[in-house]
Structure 1
Amino acid sequence: MRSVLLSLLAIGCSASQLLAAELPDIVVFLSDDHTIVDSSLYGSPDLKTPNMERVAKQGLTFDRAFVASPSCAPSRAALLTGLMPSRNGAEPNHSRPKEEIKKLPAYFQELGYEVVSFGKVGHYRQTPEYGFDIARHFNYHEDVAVPEALKWLDARESDKPLLLFVGTNWPHVPWPEPEDIDPESIKIPLHHVHTPQTCIARARYYQAIKTMDRELGEVFDAAYKKLGDDTLFLHTSDHGAQWPFGKWTLYDEGIRTPMIAVWPGKITPGKRTEAMVSWIDILPTLYAAVGQTAPKELDGQSFLPVLLGETDHHRDVIFTVHSGDGNKNVYPTRSIRTTRWKYIRNLHPEFKFTSHILGDNRPQPYWGSWVAKAKTVPEAARKVKRYLQRPAVELYDLDADPTEQNNLATDPQYAVTLAKLSDQLDAWMKEQGDPQKVYGEPILLSAE
C-alpha cells in the first residue's frame, strides 16, 4: 500500500484519490432462508457445503451470529439501517424502514465508494429504495442475479472503492427438483415429523442449498480475482428456512445465522469464534473496517475487534423480535438470548401460530403428511400441536437443550433466571419504544 500511495503522490493525485486508494473493497454475499445447521460447516451429518467450508478455511467463522428478526423484510432493513425493527419502522414482513433514516449505502457513498446491489439484498423491489448506485435483478427468484453480478464485476473499470452486495434467492422456496440427492438417505431432524413427503421436501431444500453454496464459491473467487487481497468478504443469511420452528420463530433455527468473514492479512484464517453478534452490528462493523465510527444512536455496535482477533467477546445478550407476516402469520413475539439461556415471550398465546407452511403448497408439500400422521402417532401429534400452540413464556437451557425442546418456564428451580431475563427484556422493549402491535387478523385457538 505504501508504494501505491507514493506512486499516486508522484503523479499528483488529489487527497480524495489518495483516500480512495487506502480504502478496502467490500463484498457481502447474502443467502436467503438458510438454517445454519443445514450445512457441513455447522455440523450437518448429510449435507456437504464445500464452498462454505473453503471460505471458512480462509477466514473467521461465527458460531453465535444472529439476525434481528426471522422474516425477510425486517431482517434486511435491520442490516441496512443498523437499527432494530421498532426503531427503523420495518416490523412485519414486507414493510419498509422509515424514509428519513440514513441507510447503509449513504454512509459509504460519502467516503467515495461505489455501492452496488445484485439480487435480493433489500426485500425484493424495495432494494432500490435503499439508495444503491446500482440495484439490479431484485425481483422474486430472479435467479440470473448472481451470474449477472459476476459479469458486471469482471467488466468493471472504475477506480472507486467498491462495496458490492450479492444476494442469492437460494434456498428460499420454491425449492428445485433434487439432482443427485436420495430422499431416503436424508436424516430428518428429531423435532420434525418423519414422513416420505418430509424426506422429498428436504431433498429439494438440500438441492437449493447446494446451489447457494456453488454461487457463494463463484462470488468469492471472482471478488479476489478482480479486487485483490485488500478485500473484506462477508457471507451470512437473513434467517432460517421455511421449516417448522425455523423462519417466523425466535428459536435458534429461525434467528441464528451462518456468518463467515475473510480479509487476507487482517483476519486470521481457519478460526472460529463464539462472540455473539447481531445483524444490526454489520453496518457499524463494515464502517469501522474503513476507518470510520458509526453514530452512537444506532443499535448496532462494531465487532471489528473480533474480526481482527483482538477479542472473542462482543455482546452479552441478543434481542430478537418478530411481528408477523400478513394474515398468514399473525403472532408477535420477542426474545432475549444469552450464551446459555433463551427466553421467549409470545405476546398473544391465545392466537394460533400459523404460517405459509400450513398451506402445503407445491413443490414442497409435507405439512399435510404431518397432520395425517398426528392422527395415529402421539409423538407426531405432540410436534404438530407444539408448532401451532405456544405458551405465554418459554425458557430453554441451550447448554443442555440446544434444539429448545424442554420448556423450563414453569419449573420453580429456574424462577430467578426467568425473572432476570424477563426484566431485561421489559427494559429493552421500553427503551426501543416497542409498540407490541398486532399486524393482521389472528386466528384464536378458542375458535378452533
Structure 2
Amino acid sequence: MSNLTLTFLAAAFLSLQLYGAEKVLPPNIVVFISDDHGMLDSEPYGATDIGTPNMAKLAAEGMKFTHAFVASPSCGPSRTALCTGLWPARNGAEPNHKAKNPDVKSLPPVLHALGYEVAAFGKVAHGNYGKDHGFDVLGGEQHGDTDTVEVAKFLNTRDASKPLCLFFGTRHPHVPWGENAGYDTATIKLPPKHVDTAATREQRARYCSDITRADNLLGELRALVKEKVPGNTLFIYTADHGGQWPFGKWNLYDAGIRIPFIAAWPGHLAPASTNDAMIAWPDLLPTFIELGGGTVPEGIDGKSFASVLLGKATTHRERIFTTHSGDGDFNVYPIRSVRARDWKYIRNLHPEFQHHTHISRSSNVTSGFNYWQSWLSAAESSPEAAAKVKRYSVRPAEELYDLKSDPNELHNLAAEPTQAERLQQMRVDMDAWMQQQGDKQTVFGKPLMIGEPLTMVDPGAGKKKKAK
C-alpha cells in the first residue's frame, strides 16, 4: 500500500473512533471564498464606507480572526497552497497560472476518506486546476462569474447522510470591476499609499461595489446552507489575497497577504468574538481533517488550528512566511517575507528589476491602467504622488516594518542602526525557511531592469509595445 492510502485508512479508522461510538457525524464545513478582497475592506474589520451587511452578520454570529494570511498574494499559488497544504516552492505552483507538480498530493481526498462529500463551486482552485485536486463535485463557472443556482440543485439532490465539505468561490471583487452601485466617490476612503485622483476614486467605488456584490452572494449561500444543510455546520468567509491595487495584490505588504477570515459554528464559537491567533491558508484543510476525526498527513506545511476553534488553544503560529514569484511578464519581481505579530521583514530578491504589475504594464484598461495614468500625471506636479509612484516601481533589497506603530508599512526601518540585531535575526529566519522549502528563487518571465524604458504587455496576444 502507498503511504497516502495508509493515511486515508488511518484517518477513516480514527474518525470511527472519535465519532462512531457517540453516533455523532463530523461537522459539515462550508467555505465562501471571495477573490482579491483585502482584510480591511469590510465592515467587520472597521470599514465604514463599504457595505458588507452579511459579513457583519456572520461576524456577529461567530468569530472574527484578525491575523489570517495567505501563502502567496496571487490567485493560482494561493489557491494551490490551500488545496495541497504546501507552500508554492514545494507544490510547484510558484508563478501565477501554473499547475501544481503532478506528483504533489492534494488534501480533498483525505476528507473523502473520512466519509465527506467534497464539492467546489465557482472559483475555488484556479482556472481548470480544480480537476487536479480530487474534489468529488466540481460545479459553476471556474473562471468567471458564478451564482448559487447550481449549489441549490446540488444540495437538493445529494445524499444528506454524508458530512459535507463545500467550497464556494466568487470572482468578485476581481477585476474587471462592475459599475458603481451607489458609492459616493467624494467621501469614499483611500488607503494611505494611494494617490488621490478622480480616476482612483471612481475605480475605488467600483471595487467597493464588487465587494458588496460578493457580500450579497454570501447572504444567498448562508440562507441556502441554513435551509438545506441542517445540523452541526461550520461556516467560513475568507479571500485568496488582497485587492488588485498598487501595494496590494502581487505584494507581500499586509494589503496583499492579510485576508478576512470569519467563522460561525453554533455551539462551538462564541458570537461576536475575536481571535488574534496567526493562521495561514495552508492550515485550512488540515484543520478540517482534524475536525472530521482524521489524521493530518505528515510532511505538509499546513498545521491544524482545530484546537483554536475548539477553545483548547489561543495561539497557533509565531511566524507567517509568504512568497511571490511573478505573474507572466506583467510582474517579474520575486519577493519573500517573514511576519511576526508586530514585525515584518521583506526581501526583494532582485531590486535591480523594476517592479510592475498588470496595473502599470497591461494595455487592458480594466486592469487599472486608466487610474494608474492619473497617478503618473499627478506625480509630475506633486512630490507626494511622485514618491508613491517611485516606491511602487523601485524597491530596496530589504524592508523592515514595525507593524504595531506603522500598520500601513510606510516607514522602512531596514537601515536603522537600532534595528540591526532584529534585521539580522529575521534574515536568518528567512534563510532557514527558504532552505527548508527548497526555494530555488527562480525568476519566471523576462524582467525590466532599472533604467530600461517601460513596455506594455498585451494580455490577449502576449505582445509588448513601447509605452507612451
TM-score tier (shorter): over 0.9
Deviation at 1:183, TM superposition (A): 1.5
Q: Which residue in 2 is equivalent to 1:442?
A: 447
Q: Which residue in 2 is equivalent to 1:302?
A: 304
Deviation at 1:148, TM superposition (A): 2.2
Indicate which of 72, 75, 82 corresponds to 1:72.
75
Deviation at 1:253, TM superposition (A): 0.4
Q: Give the conservation status (yes or no) of the 8 Å contact 1:146–1:167.
A: no
Q: Which residue in 2 is equivalent to 1:323?
A: 325
TM-score (norm 1): 0.93
Q: Which residue in 2 is equivalent to 1:275?
A: 277
Q: Which residue in 1 is equivalent to 2:194?
A: 192
Q: Which residue in 2 is equivalent to 1:10?
A: none
Q: Give the conservation status (yes or no) of the 8 Å contact 2:147–2:217.
A: no
Q: Which residue in 2 is equivalent to 1:9?
A: none
Deviation at 1:95, TM superposition (A): 0.9
Residue 184 of structure 1: SS of its match in structure 2?
A: coil
Name structure 2 gaps, 5 residues minimum. 1-15, 454-468
TM-score (norm 2): 0.90
Distance 2:291 2:353 in 1: 44
Matches within 5 A, 1:86-235: 86-141=89-144, 143-235=145-237
Distance 1:269 1:115 in 2: 27
Indicate which of 351, 368, 376 corresponds to 1:371.
376
Q: Is residue 244 from structure 1 mapped to residue 246 from structure 2 by the alignment?
A: yes
Indicate which of 37, 41, 63 corresponds to 1:38.
41
Deviates more, 1:351-360 or 1:324-333: 351-360
Q: Which residue in 2 is equivalent to 1:333?
A: 335
Distance 1:231 1:196 in 2: 45
Q: Is residue 361 from structure 1 mapped to residue 364 from structure 2 by the alignment?
A: yes
Deviates more, 1:181-190 or 1:238-247: 181-190
Q: Which residue in 2 is equivalent to 1:27?
A: 30
Report Cα offsets for 1:339-389 as digits up to 9, x if no partner. 110000000000000100113633452100000110111100000000011
Name structure 1 gaps, 5 residues minimum. 1-14
Deviation at 1:298, TM superposition (A): 1.0
Query: CA RMSD of the aligned region, Å?
Result: 1.7
Deviation at 1:157, TM superposition (A): 4.2
Q: Which residue in 1 is equivalent to 2:9?
A: none
Distance 1:105 1:302 in 2: 15
Distance 2:196 2:442 in 1: 36
Residue 221 of structure 1: SS of its match in structure 2?
A: helix
Q: Is residue 412 from structure 1 mapped to residue 412 from structure 2 by the alignment?
A: no
Q: Give the conservation status (yes or no) of the 8 Å contact 1:114–1:161.
A: yes
* AA at the equivalent of 1:80: C
Q: Give the conservation status (yes or no) of the 8 Å contact 2:124–2:142.
A: no
Distance 2:56 2:48 in 1: 14
Deviation at 1:158, TM superposition (A): 4.2
Q: Give the conservation status (yes or no) of the 8 Å contact 1:119–1:146.
A: no
* AA at the equivalent of 2:251: T
Q: Give the conservation status (yes or no) of the 8 Å contact 1:276–1:313.
A: yes
Deviation at 1:266, TM superposition (A): 1.6
Report Cα offsets for 1:28-86 as digits up to 9, x if no partner. 11110001111111111311211111001111110000000000000000000011111
Q: Give the conservation status (yes or no) of the 8 Å contact 1:374–1:380.
A: yes
Deviates more, 1:65-74 or 1:54-63: 54-63
Indicate which of 386, 394, 407 corresponds to 1:389.
394
Q: Give the conservation status (yes or no) of the 8 Å contact 1:360–1:367.
A: no
Residue 153 of structure 2: SS of its match in structure 1?
A: helix
Q: Give the conservation status (yes or no) of the 8 Å contact 2:192–2:408.
A: no
